[in-house]
Amino acid sequence: MHNKELTRISRGMAAILRHGIGGAEIDENGWAKLNELSQTLTKILKTKVTEEDILNVVKNDIIGRYELDVDKMKIRALYGHSIPVAIEYKIIKPHEVKDLYHGTVMEKIDSIRREGLKPLNRLWVHLYSSYKLAVERSLRRKGRPAILTIDAKQLAASKYMLFKAGKYVYVTKHVPSKFIKRITKLESYHENLKA
* 106 shares a domain with 65: no
Q: Are residues 107 and 136 located together in one domain of the fold?
A: yes
pLDDT for 97: 92
Mean pLDDT, residues 145-160 taken together: 95
Task: Over range 72-82, report the average pLDDT.
Answer: 93
- Domain co-membership, 137 together with 62: no
- Residue 84 resides in a domain: no
pLDDT for the residue 63: 85
Same domain, 72 and 120: no
- State which of 25, 51, 77 marks the end of a domain: 77
Same domain, 186 and 98: yes
For residue 52, which amino acid is it? E
Domain of 43, CATH number, reads 1.10.10.970
Residue 162 shares a structural domain with residue 105: yes
List, as one string, the DSSP characters of 115-167.
H-B--TTSSSEEEES-HHHHHHHHHTSSSSEEEEEEEHHHHHHSSS--EE-SS
State the average pLDDT over residues 21-37: 95
Q: Which pTM value belongs to this model? A: 0.85
Same domain, residue pair 188 and 98: yes
Instruction: Give the range of the structural domain holding residue 61, as residue numbers without chain letter.
Output: 3-77
125 near 108, Cβ under 8 Å? no
Q: Would you state the pLDDT for residue 8? A: 94
Domain end (from 77, 109, 140): 77
pLDDT above 90 coverage of the chain, percent: 79
* Domain at 142, CATH number: 3.20.170.30
Check pLDDT > 90 for residue 28. yes
54 and 14, same domain (yes or no) = yes
Q: Do 96 and 72 have their domain in common?
A: no
In a domain, 85, yes or no: no
User: Which of 168-183 are b and which e, b meaning 16 or more Cβ less than 10 Å from the residue's Cβ?
Assistant: bbbbbebbeeebbeee
pLDDT at 189 over 60: no
Query: In this predicted structure, what is the pLDDT of residue 62?
Result: 83
- The verdict on residue 46 lying in a domain is yes
Compute the distance between CA of residue 54 and CA of residue 108 in angstroms, rounded to an integer: 35
Which residues, other chains included, contact 104 with Cβ-Cβ below 8 Å and sequence gap of 6+? 112, 138, 141, 145, 146, 147, 148
Residue 105 sits in the same domain as residue 168: yes
114 and 188, same domain (yes or no) = yes
Average pLDDT over residues 96-100: 94
pLDDT of residue 172: 96
* pLDDT over threshold 80, residue 135: yes
70 and 35 both lie in a single domain: yes
Q: Is residue 83 part of a domain?
A: no
State mean pLDDT over 23-28.
94
Distance CA 65, CA 54 (A): 12
pLDDT (tens digit per residue) in 33-74:
999 999 999 999 999 999 999 999 999 888 889 999 988 899
Task: Give the per-residue pLDDT at 1.
Answer: 60
Other Cβ atoms closer than 10 A to 26: 24
Name the pLDDT band for 137 (thresholds 50, 70, 90).
confident
Confidence of residue 190 (pLDDT cuts 50, 70, 90): very low
Q: Give the chain's domain count.
A: 2
Domain boundary among 77, 103, 122: 77
